[in-house]
Amino acid sequence: MKISILGVAATKFGELWSVSPRVLAKEAMNNALKQSGLKAGDIDALFVGNMLSEILGNQANLGSLLVEELGVQIPAFRIEGACASGGLALHNAINSIKSGQYKTVLVLGIEKMTDHSQDEITNALMAAGSDEERMAGATFPGVYALMAQAYMKQYKVSEEELASVSVKNHYHGTLNPKAQFQFSISVADVMKSAKIADPLKLLDCSPISDGAAAVVITGENIIKKVRKPIQIVASEVGTDTLSLCDRKSFTSLLAVIDASTKAYKKAGLRPSDIDVAEIHDCFSISEAIATEDLGFSKKGEGAKDIAKGKRTLFKGDIICNPSGGLKACGHPVGATGIKQIVEITEQLRGVAGKRQVENARIGLTHNVGGSGAVAAIHILRI
């Protein structure tokens, strides 16, 4: 059975002090429905990807809470897998359609993070960390900094080369009206920004964000009112140990390699077939490693290729993070996996405006939870 995307929508990402999670969810869901040419009554189930509503909002049962905003009573589920919650929600939604249980479903990713103190957020995010990491006092920048240290030493990569990831994504952000940061930065700006966890500096790190994104998918062959249906041709998930210290490698995420290998096989595609990808760049090091794990760059050359412009809009070959990525578009954690689908769908439809990747026909999304304990890979094509 083919899975088609009927409609997508994302809210503006950023520090959205004036709106509640309900308002964010409603905006994304209603706009995705509107674009699909469907009404809430046409939807069979709602899948919600969210990580932190329980810790930050003391709100469980988010599926039932948010389905109320649709004004219909349909089965609703919350799927949680840290920052990969959005991708995992989509994976389960796709399976539910392929199973024959539901025909057309709505998948929402949502996170409201900025109404809390820095300490609360740091502690909440470490809920995805391992016991060892937490007992050692590590934060996520600290954990990814260890990967960066190992990567830079092993492959002789400079801090400047790593910084080029953020520079690229901020440039892309200037072309995305929904991005949290719509200004460019230079390598020098990254280098002189405050050290967070050596070698990662403030501008190597994605921000704390609010936002929601939604997608309507169906297995039905009759697709109405959609000019260019986009198909999801692979949806695969991989896992690895929660703790970095239990891993075989610090410079590769096995969950990503596992999921993407399965996804390429399922789609009958090779890495070089991908025109555009949305990458989980929670830190600059993440995107460098991801482009290698996904087969876009040779091992050790991911950061160098980005520094050379190979992933940059209008000059690269496989364009990564045209949305601005987590770094510039923002990272409301549960929303990220679905926002990636929204971006790739707009790219493949050719409606991505100033950040349109030319002749984009095949796209990939790469959504990671924790420091790589889980990864969801989706491949889309027109």
Contact between 67 and a second copy by CB under 8 A: the answer reads yes
The minimum distance between CB 120 and a second copy, in angstroms, equals 11
User: Does the protein bind a second copy through residue 94 (CB under 8 A)?
Assistant: yes
Report the candidate in 352, 339, 348 with the shortest Cα–Cα distance to residue 380: 348
Comparing CB distances to a second copy, the nearer of 149 and 239 is 239
- For the annotated catalytic residues, the residue numbers are 83, 331
The DSSP bridge pattern shows strands 104-112 and 45-49 to be: parallel
Residue 18 touches a second copy, criterion: CB under 8 A: no
Is 60 among the residues that bind a second copy (CB under 8 A)?
yes
Cα distance between residue 325 and residue 190, in whole Å: 16
**Could you say which of 33, 128, 244, 320 contacts a second copy (CB under 8 A)?**
128
- Residues 354-373, one symbol each (x = binds a second copy by CB under 8 A, - = not), give ---------------xx--x
Q: Give the Å distances, CA to CA, from 326 to 66, 217, 266, 339.
A: 24, 24, 27, 10
Q: How far is CA 85 from the centre of its chain?
A: 9
- Report the nearest approach of a second copy to the CB of residue 46 (Å): 9
> CB of residue 294 vs a second copy: minimum separation in angstroms?
18
By CB under 8 A, which span of 71-79, 170-178, 283-291, 308-316 interacts with a second copy? 71-79
Instruction: Say whether residue 95 binds a second copy (CB under 8 A).
Output: yes
Q: Which of 69, 133, 240, 278 binds a second copy (CB under 8 A)?
A: 240
The three-state secondary structure class of 8 is strand
Q: What is the contact mask toward a second copy in residues 286 to 325, using x (rule: CB under 8 A)?
A: ----------------------------------------
Contact 348, 363 (CB under 8 A): yes
Handedness of CA 11, 17, 21, 23 (dihedral sign): negative
Q: Which two tokens stand for residue 44?
A: 């069979």
Strands 195-197 and 230-239: unpaired
- Is position 203 an interface residue for a second copy (rule: CB under 8 A)? no
112 binds a second copy (CB under 8 A): no
d(CA 222, CA 114): 41
Closest approach, Cβ 108 to a second copy, in A, equals 14
Q: Which of 82, 133, 89, 129 is nearest to 107 (CA)?
A: 89
Q: Which is nearer to a second copy, 170 or 247 (CB)?
A: 247
- Per CB under 8 A, the segment of 91-99, 149-157, 171-179, 349-357 that binds a second copy is 91-99
Cα 265 to Cα 372: distance, rounded to the nearest angstrom: 21
CA-to-CA separations, 44 to 93, 101, 105, 252, in angstroms, rounded: 11, 9, 5, 39
Amino acid at 277: A
Taking the C-alpha atoms of residue 224 and residue 68, their distance in angstroms, rounded to an integer, is: 26
For a second copy, the binding residues in 249-268 under the rule CB under 8 A are 254-255, 258
Contact residues for a second copy, defined by CB under 8 A: 45, 51-52, 54-55, 58-65, 67-68, 73-82, 88, 91-92, 94-101, 123-124, 126-128, 130, 235-242, 246, 254-255, 258, 369-370, 373-374
